[in-house]
């Protein structure tokens, strides 16, 4: 894995966070520990898709980047269509970019 790939991923992750805030989808209140402990995909039984992005996905990706790693291949953009059909385009664009970058980082 190249540093350039990690830098690209970091750029799109930061752009995702900015898009969540700009479209007012960044949650105002942090979820409880119990909500975060969900084992359901995308914690959909306890969190909205946007809460999951803000409090699970984004922080975990930042942790991986900090140690020079990226997530394995993922498909978050289809989940956005399923769990957040009203997902704004700026968020979808960044999720798709992140998905494509992980395709290049096949594990």
pLDDT one-digit tens code per residue, 44-97: 999 999 999 999 999 999 999 999 999 989 999 999 999 999 999 999 999 999
End-to-end, the C-alpha distance of the chain in Å comes to: 10
Q: How far apart are CA 24 and CA 35, in angstroms?
A: 21
Q: How far apart are CA 36 and CA 13, in angstroms?
A: 20
Ranges 33-37, 97-101, 103-107: which has the least confidence = 103-107
The candidate with the shortest Cα–Cα distance to 52, out of 93, 19, 84, is 84
Whole-model pTM?
A: 0.92
**Contact call for residues 37 and 78 (beta carbons, < 8 A):** no
Find where tokens 């930061």 sit: 14
**Contact call for residues 31 and 51 (beta carbons, < 8 A):** yes
Q: How far apart are CA 56 and CA 42, in angstroms?
A: 8
């Amino acid at each position: 894995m190249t540093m350039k790939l990690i830098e690209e991923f970091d750029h799109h992750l930061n752009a995702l966070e900015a898009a969540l805030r700009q479209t007012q989808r960044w949650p105002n209140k942090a979820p409880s520990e119990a909500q975060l402990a969900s084992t359901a995909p995308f914690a959909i039984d306890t969190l909205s898709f946007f809460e999951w992005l803000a409090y699970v996905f984004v922080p975990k990706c930042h942790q991986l980047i900090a140690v020079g790693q990226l997530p394995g291949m993922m498909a978050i953009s289809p989940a956005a269509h399923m769990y957040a059909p009203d997902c704004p385009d700026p968020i979808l664009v960044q999720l798709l970019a992140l998905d494509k970058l992980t395709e290049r980082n096949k594990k």
